[in-house]
Amino acid sequence: MQPGSQKRERIQEHLLRESAINLLRTRKRQTGQQMLIKTILNKCHKFKSFVYQHVVLTWYCGEEIIEVTVVPRKNSKAICSGCNTTAPGYDSLNERRFEFIPLWGYRVFFLYVMRRVNCKTCGIKVEQVPWAKGKKELTTTYMQYLAFWAEKLSWQEVARSFKTSWEKVFSAVEYIVEFGLANRSLEGITAIGVDEVAWQKGHAYLTVAYQIDRENTRLLWIGRDRTENTIRRFFEFLGPERSLRLEHVCSDMWRPYVKVIAELACNALHILDRFHIVAMLNKAIDEVRASEHKKLIADGYEPVLKKSRWCLLKRKQNLTASQAVSLKTLLQYNLKSVRAYLLKEDFHAFWDYVSPAWAETYLDKWCTRVMRSKIEPMKKVAKTIRRHKSLILNWFRAKKQFSSGIVEGLNTKIKLTTRKSYGFRTYRCTEIALYHALGKLPTPEMTHRFY
Ligand SMILES: [Zn+2]
DSSP for 53-86 reads EEEEEEEETTEEEEEEEEEEPTTPPEEBTTTSSE
Do residues 45 and 141 touch, judged by C-beta distance below 8 A?
A: yes
Distance 78 CA to ligand 1 centre (A): 11
What's the confidence (pLDDT) of residue 30? Answer: 52
Ligand 1 centroid to residue 75 C-alpha, Å: 19
Tell me, in angstroms, the distance from the centre of ligand 1 to residue 100's CA: 27
Q: pLDDT, tens digit, for every residue of 1-25?
A: 455 677 778 777 777 777 776 666 6
- Residue 289: is it exposed, middle or buried by C-beta count within 10 angstroms (0-12/13-18/19+)? buried
Helix H, strand E, coil C: the string for 282-297 is HHHHHHHHHHHHHHHH
The reported pLDDT for the residue numbered 21 is 67
Which of these, 367, 395, 425, 433, lies nearest to 154 by C-alpha position? 433
Residue 449 CB neighbours (<10 A): 7
Q: How far is the CA of 444 from the centre of ligand 1 (A)?
A: 23
Cα(53) to centroid(ligand 1), Å: 28
d(CA 106, CA 162): 9
Q: What letter represents residue 129's amino acid? A: V
User: Alpha carbon of 332 to those of 134, 296, 326, 329: distances in Å?
Assistant: 71, 16, 10, 6
* β-strand partners of 73: none
Q: Which residues pair with 345 in a beta bridge?
A: none
Ligand 1 centroid to 175 CA: how many Å? 23
Fill in the DSSP letter of residue 268: S
Query: 47 CA to middle of ligand 1, Å?
Result: 21
CA distance 88 to 80: 9
pLDDT confidence tier of residue 110, bands split at 50, 70 and 90: very high
For residue 423, the model assigns a pLDDT of 58
> Which tens digit of pLDDT belongs to each residue from 230-248?
999 999 999 999 999 999 9
Report which of 386, 351, 389 is spatially closest to residue 367, judged by C-alpha positions: 386
Residue 122 banded pLDDT, cuts 50, 70, 90: very high
Residue 79 Cα to ligand 1 midpoint, Å, equals: 8
Which helix (H) or strand (E) is 207 found in, with range?
A: strand 204-213
Distance CA 296, CA 118 (A): 84
Give how far the C-alpha of residue 152 lies from the chain's centroid of Cα atoms, to the nearest Å. 10
Return the percentage of the chain with pLDDT > 90, whole number.
49
Confidence at residue 421, expressed as pLDDT on a 0 to 100 scale: 60
Specify the pLDDT at position 424.
Answer: 60
CA of 90 to the centre of ligand 1 (A): 13
DSSP, collapsed to helix, strand or coil, labels residue 302 as coil
Q: How many CB atoms lie within 10 A of CB 29?
A: 10
pLDDT given at position 4? 65
Q: How far away, in angstroms, is 127 Cα from ligand 1 center?
A: 9
109 Cα–ligand 1 center, Å: 28
Q: How far is the CA of 353 from the centre of ligand 1 (A)?
A: 65
Quick: pLDDT tens for 162-220. Answer: 989 999 999 999 999 999 999 999 999 999 999 888 877 767 888 999 999 988 899 99
| Coil, helix or strand at residue 217 | strand
pTM above 0.85, yes or no: no
> What letter would DSSP give residue 138?
B
Give residue 107's identity as a one-letter amino acid code. Answer: R
Q: Of 240, 247, 230, 237, nearest to 264 (Cα)?
A: 240
pLDDT at 32: 45
> Looking at this protein, which amino acid is placed at residue 351?
W
**CA 269 to ligand 1 centroid distance, Å:** 50
Q: What single string gives the DSSP state of each residue in 383-394?
A: HHHHHTHHHHHH
Q: How far is the CA of 168 from the centre of ligand 1 (A)?
A: 29
3-state secondary structure of 370: helix
Give 129's DSSP letter: P
Please give the distance, rounded to the nearest whole angstrom, from the Cα atom of residue 303 to the centre of ligand 1: 78
Q: What spacing in Å lies between the alpha carbon of 126 and ligand 1's midpoint?
A: 9
CA of 124 to the centre of ligand 1 (A): 8
- Cα of 88 vs centre of ligand 1, distance in Å, is 10
pLDDT of residue 440: 94
Q: How far, in Å, from the CA of 117 to the mean position of ligand 1?
A: 8
User: What's the CA-to-centroid distance between 252 and ligand 1, angstroms?
Assistant: 50
Give 274-330 pLDDT, tens digit per residue. Answer: 888 888 899 999 899 888 888 888 877 777 777 777 777 777 777 777 777 777 777
Cα 95 to averaged position of ligand 1 atoms, centre (Å): 22
CA gap 410, 21 in Å, rounded:
68
pLDDT digits (tens, 9 = 90+) for 356-380: 899 999 999 999 999 999 899 999 9
Query: What gap in Å lies between CA 315 and CA 294, rounded to an integer?
Result: 24
- The DSSP secondary-structure symbol of 422 reads G
Asked if 145 contacts 101 with a C-beta cutoff of 8 angstroms, the reply is yes
Give pLDDT, residue 22.
66
Helical ranges in 164-239 per DSSP H: 166-183, 228-238
CA separation for the pair 124, 77 (Å, rounded): 15
Ion ligand 1 contact residues with beta carbon within 5 A: 80, 82-83, 119, 121-122
> What is the pLDDT of the chain when averaged over all its residues?
87
pLDDT at 236: 96
DSSP3 helix / strand / coil % (the chain, rounded to 5): 50, 20, 25
In 3D, which of 413, 410, 429 has the Cα closest to residue 421? 429
